[in-house]
Amino acid sequence: MEGTRPFLRNAFIWTAVVALPITFLGCTRKKTADAVPVGVVLPITGREAKPGQYQREGIELAIKQINQNGGILVKDRGKKLPVREIFYDDSSDQAKSASLAERAMSSDEVVAVLGAYSTALGEAESVMPDRYQVPWITTGAAATTIFNHGYQYVFGTLSPTTLLGSSTAEYLGSLVDQGKLNKGLKLALALENTDHGVDYGNGIKQWSQQHPGYFNIVFSENFDLGSPDFSGLLQKVKSSKADIFLADAHLQDYITMHRQYLQSGMHHQMISYGARGPESDARKAMGDGVDYIFAGIWWSRNLPYPQVKKFNQDYKEFTGHDPDSWYPATAYDAMRALQAAIESAGSLNRTKVRDALRTVELKDSLLPGQVLKFGPNGQINTPFVIVQNKPGGKVDIVYPKDAATGESIAPIPKK
Amino acid sequence: MTLIDFTNLLVSALLLAGIYAVMSVGMTVIYGVMKIVNLAHAGFMMLGAYFALELFQRFRIDPIIAALLAFPVLFFLGAAVHWVLLRRLPRSDEPTLPSLLLMFGLWLVLQNLGYLIWGNTDRSIFTPRTLSVVSTVRLAVFIAAVGCLLLLEVILHYTWFGRSVRALIQNRYAALLTGVYEDRTAGIAFGLGIGFAGLAGGLLGSLYSFDPDFGRPFLIRAFVIIVLGGLESISGVAIGALVLALVETFSILFVPAGYQLAISFGLLALALIVLPGGLASLLAKVRRVA
Amino acid sequence: MSATSATLPARRMAGWAMTALPWILLAILAILPLLVPSPNFTRLLFMTFLWTTTSIAWNLLGGFAGQVSFGFAVFYGAGAYTTALLMNAGVNPLFAFLAAGLTAALVSLIVGLPAFRLRGPYFAIATIGISEAVRVVMTNLSFTGGASGYRILEHRPFRQLEHYYTALLLAAIAFAISWKIAHSKFGLGLKAIRQDEDAAADLGVNPYTYKLAAHALAAALTGMAGGVFARYAAFIHPGGVFGFHTSVHILLMPVIGGIGTVWGPVLGGFVFGIVEEEIVASFPEIHLLLYGLLLIVIILFEPGGILGGLRKLVRRFRDHR
């Protein structure tokens, strides 16, 4: 710097002196009043905005109902305290997701943090709970890599994705047993290149190995999430001459990929996009092009439980729309599990709440099997339901049999 | 690979080349006349895609026609941008860093405007035709693309403006001496380039889904193509587009789909470093050796 | 500059303040987290130091030597992944950071050896291609977890201040290097290259080796910043550390602050760090617009950035006195 003007240097000192305290003031937040502060970090902008919004609605519905009943009973305070939600939007950005979870845990004195939709964002957040010893319940991340590092404060209300893969294969196997599909069909897998995709693929591969003769996996390749163009991948799927096409994708990628699938005139006996399929956005974008797609999901609003019926009503009243796919349910139950844990701990102490979460059992859960209980690694293990899109916008549960609301249509009829 | 597979790939490569040529030709015109590397190209392509989407959704205009309509609209937008911003840049015979950063800033602004107006969920143009018969959309896109390229050739060769453009590309000083009005020519040329970007965006919007960050991979592809084409030659662009489309389409036979993008990006660096004069210089070299 | 306004003692004072300022700043920043024990505030400063480091690093090449690169995320990411892999292998974090710098410098040679045969804008475009290609490859590389990212498992309690002082030290080293170069023959050589590469070559400066050296130094600093970040975040993924937006941020800071100066990138880094982490977090929908407009305004009206603007302001103020 060639100048030697003292003014300039003063300007620097002033910037430093003025800017730092201002940001500091910006950082401090009001201390907790008489309430149970709960951090919620979800994407409501960005690529994952839609599912993130649905999950937020699930959590907020639970909070509303809890507060209408006077709040959560905290024994060592001797009274019921209302839940205060501290919400952060991570705009579907992993780094932001982690730092917002960190912020909630370190500066907002929350009892627990809920949220983290989609495996990618959950992975980034999952290093924070043990660092700050704050319980964290992910409502939308299911990859096993989050839960197998021995973390002590990490919980999740989604069954593992490997189970999704094996349930998918099991369902297809049941169709073979029924004689709807032939034995020895060729599978093509297109997996998102994240742990979610790896888990899903592993689930399918494991099941196929344990049940030889049912399927041959003739093609398996990964793809980038958020790519605008899957034509190369689909071209390869096409030339693999597979009978069944199984992809593991996010909502946006499901729509993009299936659109190109339809454009290139492809047809398979069965087709699935993993945990995506019945979303209303997809039908909006592709009309009856989404017919017959099946999906393995963590929850369906067609489940025949009374608490599900009530939830469907309350949710519609609260948000003005029906529950879309599985998203709000796992979030709703996460908040209720947290409530149960705080009540059984009788305290807002985070470690005590953590200990209580390990033993809590939600007996009227919305999820398949109706019981929510965290396993030793923090993840729940409820079964999946398989749903299939039917013509006219209907979505039927087709598997397991005892919850089915309709018959599987297999193979998919050619148009 | 059967002959049918091969023909399929070849045809899809050709169809792809058409649209690649349209998106790159605008960049070449701008570079040739103004020596500006248009980093904002992707932003204007994004605008073109949303323009087509809006026309289609609001007025049920066929998306291909909507893309063609994007051309004049973006042309005037481009001319306006030239008048407001680019005129103020110092003139130069080679691309300058300020011009690069300016266009980059413009790209950020356009992208953010996109986010503000349309949000950041993926959009796609969905017509009954999109799903019905194989590749009619691709074919229509290809025809529109080639038609516009031919029109550009006619304009460049048979109008006063076209001759001024070519004169400026060949030798700026000589062109100025013969009475080419640089400011106006540059303004029109920039408008033309942006118009083509909008057209390409509109056409691509019929093929792919898009969000406001749409166009970054295509921007890099456009770089590859104009570098292969020798930066300033319109016919070079056609060749570059064809080469890239062939390489990309046939590469899926050899590399996993996930790596497909890396090929065009890697090709860019390679082309810049090995072939700074474009394919034409390579041919010339080969001829000289022979 | 008019000599009339500054008398000799005043000038000496100014010179003293000039040398003292970095030390004072360092001292303030060193005790600040102890005075303000807020984890969130500490994190904000921590990130700001890392951004400042990368900003200073970019300026070595982009500012002093005039070689604009859109590809610094390659080094940031290379450093982050090197640190992550080594730390999981049980290497001491400090060595992991150094290795990160070394790896990044090595990568810079691989990039620079061919790319510096190109000039100015062509180099800039080539860096876009290279950085996107690297990101795509990293997204698909399975041994680093691909797009899923990579996790650092550090089996000891997390101490935020340790991270804070590492970052502060790194930023201070970066600043010292930048200062030293600005006042050295090497720095003069880089400036000559920026102004006229051919003329510089005639004067006995080898532009190719000079650029490579500046590139390697900048890459090493950026790589170490990436490494320090990786240890703090404990989870990295290609879309983040190798992302195009990382390159963009690294480029924006020095341009905003004042390109080619010692203090500009520091100013840019602080402004950016604080704006990005605090204010923009509340308005995510307009931050690109903000940066874009700032860039356009700076290029068209104030190529000296904030620093240049401040200087002009000070000059005008003084002339009116």
Inter-chain contact C140–B259, Cβ cutoff 8 Å? yes
Distance from CA of A258 to the nearest CA of B (A): 10
> Residue C185's pLDDT is what?
92
**Residue C315 Rama label (left phi>0; alpha psi -120 to 50; beta):** alpha
Confidence band (pLDDT; 50, 70, 90) for B205? confident
Looking at A293-297, C92-96, C117-121, C258-262, which range is the least confident one?
A: C117-121
Task: Summarize the confidence of residues B225-246 as an average pLDDT.
Answer: 84
CA A246 to CA A169: how far, in whole Å? 10
Q: Which residue has the tokens 């047809």?
A: A267
Inter-chain contact A4–C14, Cβ cutoff 8 Å? yes
> Residue A29's pLDDT is what?
45
Closest CA to B222 of B52, B7, B72, B27: B27
Question: Chain B residue with minimal CA distance to C290?
Answer: B109
Walk across the sheet containing A185-192 and list its strands.
A215-223, A185-192, A244-248, A270-272, A294-297, A385-390, A394-399
Mean pLDDT for chain C overall: 87
Inter-chain contact C296–B105, Cβ cutoff 8 Å? yes
Closest CA to B241 of B73, B54, B18: B18
CB C282 within 8 A of CB A27: no
Inter-chain contact C129–B268, Cβ cutoff 8 Å? yes
Mean pLDDT for chain A overall: 86
> Residue C1's pLDDT is what?
42
CA A119 to CA A126: how far, in whole Å? 10
Looking at A59-73, A126-140, B35-49, C265-279, which range is the least confident one?
A: C265-279
Task: Summarize the confidence of residues B171-197 as an average pLDDT.
Answer: 84
Residues of C in contact with B98 (CB under 8 A): 299, 303
Looking at A24-33, A286-295, C49-58, C216-225, which range is the least confident one?
A: A24-33
Task: Summarize the confidence of residues B154-182 as an average pLDDT.
Answer: 81
B234-251 helix and B260-274 helix, angle to the nearest 10 degrees = 140
Instruction: Provide the CATH number for the domain formed by A36-159+304-373 in this structure.
Output: 3.40.50.2300
Residues of C in contact with A20 (CB under 8 A): 32
> Residue A25's pLDDT is what?
47
Q: What is the pLDDT of residues A174-217, one digit of tens each?
A: 999 999 999 889 999 999 888 888 889 999 999 999 999 899 99
Mean pLDDT for chain B overall: 82
Domain boundaries of chain B, sorted by first residue: 3-120+129-218
pLDDT of C243 above 80: yes
List of chains touching A (3+ CB pairs within 8 A): B, C
Task: Summarize the confidence of residues C115-126 as an average pLDDT.
Answer: 81
Task: Summarize the confidence of residues B154-181 as an average pLDDT.
Answer: 81
**B254 against C4, higher pLDDT:** B254
Question: Chain B residue with minimal CA distance to C283?
Answer: B116
Confidence band (pLDDT; 50, 70, 90) for B194? very high
**B9 against A203, higher pLDDT:** A203
Residues of C in contact with B95 (CB under 8 A): 120-122
Is CATH 3.40.800.20 correct for A162-297+385-403?
A: no
Residues of C in contact with A93 (CB under 8 A): 240
Which residues are CB-contacts of C32 (< 8 A; sequence separation ≥ 6)?
A20, C45
pLDDT of A61 above 90: yes
CB A129 within 8 A of CB A113: yes
Residues of C in contact with B258 (CB under 8 A): 136, 139-140
Q: Which structure tokens are listed for C2? A: 């008019």
ipTM associated with this complex: 0.81
Distance from CA of B132 to the nearest CA of C (A): 33
Inter-chain contact C25–A16, Cβ cutoff 8 Å? yes
Confidence band (pLDDT; 50, 70, 90) for B129? low
Inter-chain contact C118–B105, Cβ cutoff 8 Å? no
By Cβ distance, the residue of C136, C140, C303 closest to B265 is: C136
CA-angle at A39, arms to A37 and A41, nearest 5° = 165
Which residues are CB-contacts of A299 (< 8 A; sequence separation ≥ 6)?
A326, A329, A330, A366, A367, A368, A385
> Residue A3's pLDDT is what?
42
- Distance of CA B271 to CAs A143, B16, B265, C270, Å? 41, 20, 10, 38
pLDDT of A13 above 80: no
Instruction: Provide the CATH number for the domain formed by C40-283 in this structure.
Output: 1.10.3470
Inter-chain contact C40–A6, Cβ cutoff 8 Å? no
> Residue B104's pLDDT is what?
87
CB A233 within 8 A of CB A223: yes
Torsion A365-A366-A368-A372 (CA) sign: negative
3-state secondary structure of C204: coil
Q: What is the pLDDT of residues B84-121, one digit of tens each?
A: 888 888 777 777 778 888 898 999 899 889 888 887 67
> Residue B281's pLDDT is what?
67
Inter-chain contact B120–A47, Cβ cutoff 8 Å? yes
Q: Chain C contact for A228, CB < 8 A?
A: no
Residues of B in contact with A47 (CB under 8 A): 120-122, 211
Q: Which structure tokens are listed for A96? A: 């932001």
Q: Chain C contact for A341, CB < 8 A?
A: no
Inter-chain contact A235–B121, Cβ cutoff 8 Å? no
Q: For A264-412, where are the alpha helices, taking DSSP H only? A: 280-286, 306-319, 327-345, 350-359
CB B257 within 8 A of CB A232: yes
CA B196 to CA B68: how far, in whole Å? 9
CA C168 to CA C34: how far, in whole Å? 14
**A341 against B136, higher pLDDT:** A341
By Cβ distance, the residue of B97, B109, B258 closest to C120 is: B97
CA B225 to CA B217: how far, in whole Å? 12
* Strand A394-399 versus strand A385-390 pairing type: antiparallel
**B217 against C181, higher pLDDT:** C181
Inter-chain contact A45–B120, Cβ cutoff 8 Å? yes
